């Protein structure tokens, strides 16, 4: 798995693009990176379009990230999972905890609207 920081054209949001396999070996580094990002920006978009595999520890990490974001008053969205990963996210109900979006601009708009609704 590779972690790549990418600027998002919407202020107060961070984009984390993941690629490759998200498994137990990547869990701790991913949690550290997500924690760091959430300290800097409370709104996190995770792009899963280049993820080729995810195991239960990776799923747990995504759920943990969503919980962590909401615990600090932020939010998280997932973008672009392949059909197989989308199915896993739906079957495990993770899509209800962190909504799935087709692209980054749509996710950024949705996070902005949800943030405005909380104000």
What the chain holds in terms of domains, given with CATH numbers, is 2-118 (3.30.750.24)
64-107: pLDDT as tens digits:
999 999 999 889 999 998 999 989 888 888 777 678 899 988 99
Q: CB–CB of 33/68 below 8 Å?
A: no
Q: CB–CB of 39/73 below 8 Å?
A: no
Return the pLDDT at 98.
75
Letter string b/e over residues 13-46, b meaning 16 or more CB atoms within 10 A of that residue's CB: bbbbbbeeebbeebbeebeebbeebbeebbbbbb
| Lookup: tokens for 60 | 């747990």
The pTM (predicted TM-score) of the whole model is: 0.87
7-37: pLDDT as tens digits:
555 666 888 889 888 999 989 999 999 999 8
Return the pLDDT at 6.
60
């Amino acid at each position: 798995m590779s972690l790549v920081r990418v600027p998002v054209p919407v202020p107060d949001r961070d984009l984390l693009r993941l690629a490759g396999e998200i498994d137990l070996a990547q869990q701790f580094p991913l949690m550290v990176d997500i924690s760091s990002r959430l300290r800097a920006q409370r709104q996190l978009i995770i792009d899963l379009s280049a993820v080729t595999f995810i195991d239960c520890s990776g799923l747990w990490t995504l759920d943990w990230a969503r919980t962590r974001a909401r615990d600090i008053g932020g939010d998280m969205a997932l973008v672009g999972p392949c059909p197989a990963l989308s199915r896993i996210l739906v079957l495990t109900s993770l899509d209800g905890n962190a909504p799935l979006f087709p692209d980054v601009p749509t996710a950024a708009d949705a996070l902005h609207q949800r943030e405005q609704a909380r104000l």
